[in-house]
């Protein structure tokens, strides 16, 4: 093309899970506010959930468009009927997404480019997808990959061959060895690596999908990360030896973007504000295991009794479908009466609103990456109960590197009395103040990184410059 003015148009496609959708939405807003056109693509199943929550008037970005941002909104099918329960049959859904979805994306991109040819299109897709290189090649598009998690959990599978060479792929489940040869990672114990690298995870389609995706990302032109330089400097700089990586996160929190509020929750949010208002500062424990993970009734029961025995006030999100068996009868009998006034159980909430309420003094979390970032952003310390995927690796960072959290316990054999003691200690024991101080420091560092000329802000501008050069 050569030195022409770039009329950039991002085609953005995220994985259809809340923890990916959230950063993608804010990245779209950030991008559009730099003058790019964005077509934000949701899977029809996601759009349908939003519609049933918000009604037929729902339009994800209408407010942003009113204030002059050029964000278009489109949907694509994933190859399964709408009524298919994607949460319960997650593996089957992923199978279809990996197999049938690529040709649907291909058609969509071709059609979009034909119908509106006056743009310089580029792809901005979730690193979890293995198909972007093929689509980028076919349509001659710059291929930007967005990794919504930590640089650590990118670096490990990025160097999959090193894990294999060293006998750490797959990691045996009971193995406890230090992995110390991944560039920029320092040390990580095999027990903390992602579940899809472990022997027990091999049966899952996720391992195959991640291997294909991390192979595919090696041909991406530019890679965005939802982390910030100050959190993982060594890992990011080692990754830059291979490809251009940009730590532009956390994208979710820009103050100016929040004026374009989009309703991105896939479930209706219960309002916890009135309940929290009646509680003293930093006295309430917020408990949530995110949008995606399943657990057992036994785990929920022990946690329930542990929370009750701790005597600590709590807000607990129990998402419909949290049990792996699909059962909706989740809590112990009579629990509602037991916790009257002390605990509030909701199916879903506006997590940021809850975490930023002064009454909240701690977060019992599965350590999903968005939840971890949100906890830091609100200066709230964490008590960690990771279950699978990247959550154990995130816990390691929270506890050992950033030091604003403690561990609750490992695995599924929980003990209610032990849980109660841990929770009490976490909320008001000797180390609770220092954990909160560390969380507050991270909050300040994050605000600085996102300010004009902060590290993430500068990196984002650099990314935009480099992208324009690639497209020219
Ligand atoms: N979330 C929410 N309300 C809830 C529970 C979770 O809005 O009641 C949001 C939370 O703020 C976060 C996302 O859902 O942005 C969960 O993402 P995370 O990466 O923490 O975990 P995942 O769901 O991917 O396991």
Please give the radius of gyration of the chain, using alpha carbons only, rounded to the nearest integer.
Answer: 22
Q: What is the mean pLDDT of the chain?
A: 93
- Output the pLDDT for position 51: 84
Residues 257 and 330 in one domain: no
Whether 51 is in a domain gets the answer yes
Residues 306 and 360 in one domain: yes
How large is the ipTM? 0.99
> CA 16, 322, 391: angle at the middle one, nearest 5?
65
CB 346 within 8 A of CB 320: no
Residues 42 and 152 in one domain: yes
Per-residue pLDDT for 3 more than 50? no
SS3 (DSSP) at 301: helix
Whether 438 is in a domain gets the answer no
Residues 36 and 118 in one domain: yes
Residues 243 and 388 in one domain: no
CATH code where residue 228 lies = 3.40.50.2000
Dihedral sign of CA atoms 217, 223, 228, 233 in order: positive
Residues 305 and 246 in one domain: no
What is the distance in A from the centroid of ligand 1 to the CA of 370? 6
What is the distance in A from the centroid of ligand 1 to the CA of 371? 6
Residue 302 and residue 123: Cα distance in Å, rounded? 46
Residue 138 and residue 338: Cα distance in Å, rounded? 61
- Output the pLDDT for position 1: 44
Q: What percent of the chain shows pLDDT beyond 90?
A: 83
Residues 174 and 289 in one domain: no
- For residue 255, what pLDDT band results from cuts at 50, 70 and 90? low
- For residue 54, what pLDDT band results from cuts at 50, 70 and 90? confident
Q: Which residues contact 199 (CB under 8 A, 6 or more apart)?
A: 170, 171, 172, 173
What is the distance in A from the centroid of ligand 1 to the CA of 376? 14
Domains of the chain: total: 2
Tell me the whole-structure pTM to 2 decimals.
0.96
Which of 14, 15, 16, 18 has the most ligand 1 atoms within 8 A of CB, as the residue to mutate? 18
Whether 444 is in a domain gets the answer no
- Output the pLDDT for position 256: 64
Whether 442 is in a domain gets the answer no
- Output the pLDDT for position 260: 57
Whether 132 is in a domain gets the answer yes
CB 28 within 8 A of CB 9: no
Name the one residue in this structure whose structure tokens are 């959190």: 231
Cβ atoms < 10 Å from Cβ of 434: 12
What is Dmax (Cα atoms) for the chain? 70
- Output the pLDDT for position 64: 85
Whether 439 is in a domain gets the answer no
Residues 33 and 86 in one domain: yes
| Mean pLDDT of the 460-472 span | 96
Task: Give the pocket of ligand 1 (CB within 6 Å).
Answer: 17-19, 22, 265, 288, 290-293, 317, 348-352, 368-371, 374
202: domain range?
8-264+451-471
CA distances from 368 to 245, 372, 388, 389 (A): 22, 6, 9, 9
90-99 vs 101-115: helix crossing angle, rounded to 10: 50
What is the distance in A from the centroid of ligand 1 to the CA of 67? 27
| Mean pLDDT of the 171-178 span | 92
CB 113 within 8 A of CB 121: yes
Q: What percent of the chain shows pLDDT beyond 70?
A: 96
Residues 74 and 212 in one domain: yes
Residues 294 and 232 in one domain: no
| Mean pLDDT of the 113-118 span | 96
Residues 243 and 181 in one domain: yes
CB 10 within 8 A of CB 122: yes
Which residue did the predictor score with more confidence, 274 or 62?
Answer: 274
Whether 305 is in a domain gets the answer yes
266-312 tens-digit pLDDT? 888 999 999 999 999 999 999 999 999 999 999 999 999 999 999 99
402-444 tens-digit pLDDT? 999 999 999 888 999 999 999 999 999 999 999 999 999 999 9
Residues 152 and 213 in one domain: yes
CB 323 within 8 A of CB 295: yes
Whether 3 is in a domain gets the answer no
- Output the pLDDT for position 262: 63
Which residue did the predictor score with more confidence, 283 or 57?
Answer: 283
């Amino acid at each position: 093309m050569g030195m022409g003015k770039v009329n950039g148009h991002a085609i953005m496609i995220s994985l259809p899970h809340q923890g990916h959708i959230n950063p993608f939405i804010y990245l779209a807003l950030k991008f559009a506010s730099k003058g790019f056109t964005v077509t934000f693509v949701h899977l029809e199943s996601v759009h349908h959930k939003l519609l049933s929550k918000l009604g037929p008037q729902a339009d994800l970005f209408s407010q942003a468009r009113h204030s002059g941002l050029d964000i278009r909104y489109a949907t694509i099918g994933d190859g399964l009927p709408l009524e298919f329960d994607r949460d319960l049959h997650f593996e089957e859904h992923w199978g279809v997404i990996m197999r049938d979805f690529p040709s649907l994306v291909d058609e969509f991109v071709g059609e979009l480019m034909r119908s509106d040819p006056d743009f310089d299109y580029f792809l901005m897709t979730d690193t979890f997808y293995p198909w972007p290189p093929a689509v980028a090649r076919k349509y001659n598009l710059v291929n930007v990959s967005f990794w919504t998690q930590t640089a650590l959990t990118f670096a490990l599978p990025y160097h999959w061959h090193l894990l294999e060479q060293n006998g750490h792929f797959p990691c045996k489940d009971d193995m406890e060895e230090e992995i110390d040869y991944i560039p920029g990672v320092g040390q990580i114990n095999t027990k903390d690596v992602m579940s899809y690298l472990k022997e027990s995870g091999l049966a899952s389609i996720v391992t195959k999908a991640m291997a294909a995706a991390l192979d595919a990302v090696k041909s991406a032109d530019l890679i965005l990360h939802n982390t910030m330089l100050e959190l993982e400097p060594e890992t990011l700089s080692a990754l830059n030896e291979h490809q251009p990586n940009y730590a532009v996160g956390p994208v979710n929190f820009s103050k100016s973007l929040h004026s374009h509020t989009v309703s991105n929750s896939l479930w209706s949010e219960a309002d916890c504000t009135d309940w929290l208002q009646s509680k003293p500062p930093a006295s309430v424990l917020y408990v949530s295991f995110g949008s995606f993970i399943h657990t057992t009734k036994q785990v929920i029961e022990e946690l329930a009794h542990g929370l009750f025995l701790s005597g600590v006030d709590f807000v607990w999100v129990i998402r419909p479908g949290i049990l792996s068996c699909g059962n909706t009868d989740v809590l112990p009998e009579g629990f509602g009466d037991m916790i009257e006034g002390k605990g509030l159980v909701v199916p879903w909430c506006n997590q940021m609103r809850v975490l930023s309420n002064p009454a909240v003094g701690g977060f019992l979390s599965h350590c999903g990456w968005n939840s971890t970032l949100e906890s830091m952003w609100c200066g709230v310390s964490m008590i960690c109960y990771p279950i699978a995927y990247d959550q154990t690796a995130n816990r390691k960072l929270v506890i050992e590197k950033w030091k604003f959290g403690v561990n609750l316990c490992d695995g599924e054999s929980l003990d209610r009395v032990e849980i109660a003691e841990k929770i009490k200690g976490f909320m008001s024991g000797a180390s609770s103040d220092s954990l909160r101080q560390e969380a507050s420091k991270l909050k300040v560092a994050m605000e600085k990184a996102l300010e004009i000329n902060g590290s993430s802000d500068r990196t984002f501008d650099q990314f935009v410059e480099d992208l324009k050069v690639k497209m020219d």
